[in-house]
Structure 1
């Protein structure tokens, strides 16, 4: 077995060497995006995406192509898997059953809303699920995780480009809306006269990306920031079961893969399995806190680097071709989840 593993690694080395230039470029773009975020307050994910799009020519031809493709796929999955190390059962217990039910219900209802309204807008279920899951769960991270399991029709020469265009649009949309919400939602919390805990639930239950949740929560108070972050992590926990259910549905729908040309996905992608394993180990307090902290740092950088790579693989012109109805759909989904959480908080108080 050792020889077999060695031979496998040796066979992969030439391919990995070819991927190094592209990966390093993506890493430099991610570092630049983080610098802009630290010094000018711009969302790091948004900066990485826009810088990546500006360097789109690198993803089309040249020595960087293989590394950019590998980063957009493999590094992305590593980043999502490591998110599991931040999840534990203790987080859930701290919030209480009623508020947990409200947060989980908001995720489920938003995805169902997206699938229903998406049909009215003329979109297929894949695009509706991509946008709805991203809004409902954890923004750009969820978009990339869901995009990784959605099937592509191999008979369609534009299938890959179409999927990447939709992914880029979704990441861009949820990141921009998260930034707007980071400024607007604390004001709404004040207008609705939410107390510290309610404000945390509202912000954590509605804003798409983790960084913007933290920014909005701690702009009100430390306690609000802590509650908002906790609620957001509960939404992140929903990523694994949502991906599992989606994979089962996709497998059933594309059971006749040979006829449709679509590849049949595995029952549960490996990166989701690792997410669940790390969440279980952390719940059992088997992962030292220093490793949990490091996993969070590596996860963030992996996601930042991979979103830069995704940006390099898609031109802005193609993203804009998605059109006004897609923008309307993702805005409606954002308004819907905010309405669900606000209504739930009003009923529970």
Structure 2
């Protein structure tokens, strides 16, 4: 666990001093040291970190969510976000079949693109049936959405300028399309304070959709009799924790210092978990998924961007 923590600290240092995405750095640093996760005394702690800390991190994300966020945006934008998530996942499944990709991978990648990047990938993977390729697909998805999110952070603000969007509408577009929260913040505030605040708010609404989507997926996998992580008589504990924290926060029962502490702990738990998964992953295994897997994630990203762009144009 200390090895995973050290990798996470190194990744956070690089992120803070050089502007690189912390999740991506944790993943790459972990892969570079993957021999530590293959055999030896460090393996049990690395396995624990990769499986259990990620669930803790996702559960604590509930402290970011409240009903007040929904009221601030209005029904049309919320409807767009919900529809965008559902259509992107459906499109991902269809495109996965066309590209002859594993259906679980198509759902995993589409959910990560549609909701909140690496965090969504971690949560969805936790309720999917466990197979020999599960961690390989998770790492590919985390790597893919992080890279695509970084590209979007640079490219999408120029798209909003090309279409003459107001700062408010640009924030809605950025928050509704970019995968990871950090890149949403970076892209939004690169335009203006108004765009940055709106983008962050929209993104948090997308994050709030994580619990109902993961609950639905868990029930579907269980109904199909899938084994592994998806089996069992109850919903995953981390999903329940996410929902409970969101409800408590909505009721205003979380003091500000507690809320900020939980959000901070969530970020570190997820970063350490990603570092641990990287420590268990070999780069050659990730690359075995091939160019069609890359094409699938790019297509899902383009689909979501075109959908949100179209709706933003209609909303004016």
The answer to whether TM tops 0.5 is: yes
Residue 41 (structure 2) pairs with residue 63 (structure 1): yes
* Contact kept in structure 2, 1:248 and 1:267, CA below 8 Å: no
Q: Which of the numbers 289, 302, 310 marks the counterpart of 1:343? A: 310
Residue 205 (structure 2) pairs with residue 227 (structure 1): no
CA shift in 2, pair 1:215/1:263, >3 Å: closer
Q: TM-score scaled by structure 1?
A: 0.89
Residue 121 of structure 1 corresponds to which residue in structure 2? 99
* Contact kept in structure 2, 1:250 and 1:265, CA below 8 Å: no
Residue 163 (structure 2) pairs with residue 192 (structure 1): yes
What SS does the corresponding residue of 1:220 show, helix, strand or coil? coil
Deviations 1:121-169 (A, max 9, x none): 11232111000000000000000111111012xxxxxx33x11110000
CA shift in 2, pair 1:110/1:263, >3 Å: closer
Q: Which of the numbers 325, 328, 333 marks the counterpart of 2:295? A: 328
- Rg larger in 1 or in 2? 1
Residue 187 (structure 2) pairs with residue 209 (structure 1): no
The Cα of 1:298 is off from its aligned counterpart by 0.5
Provide the C-alpha distance between the structure 2 equivalents of 1:33 and 1:274, rounded to a whole number of angstroms: 27
Deviations 1:231-271 (A, max 9, x none): 0011101110001111111011116x6xxx89724441000
Residue 38 of structure 1 corresponds to which residue in structure 2? 16
* C-alpha RMSD of matched pairs (Å): 1.2
Q: Which of the numbers 173, 191, 196 marks the counterpart of 2:144? A: 173
Provide the C-alpha distance between the structure 1 equivalents of 2:301 and 2:245, rounded to a whole number of angstroms: 30
Deviations 1:282-329 (A, max 9, x none): 000000011111111100000000000011111000000000000000
* Contact kept in structure 1, 2:218 and 2:230, CA below 8 Å: no
Unmatched segments (≥5 aa) in structure 1: 1-22, 153-158
Provide the C-alpha distance between the structure 2 equivalents of 1:107 and 1:266, rounded to a whole number of angstroms: 27
Q: Which of the numbers 262, 265, 270 marks the counterpart of 1:295? A: 262
The Cα of 1:348 is off from its aligned counterpart by 1.7
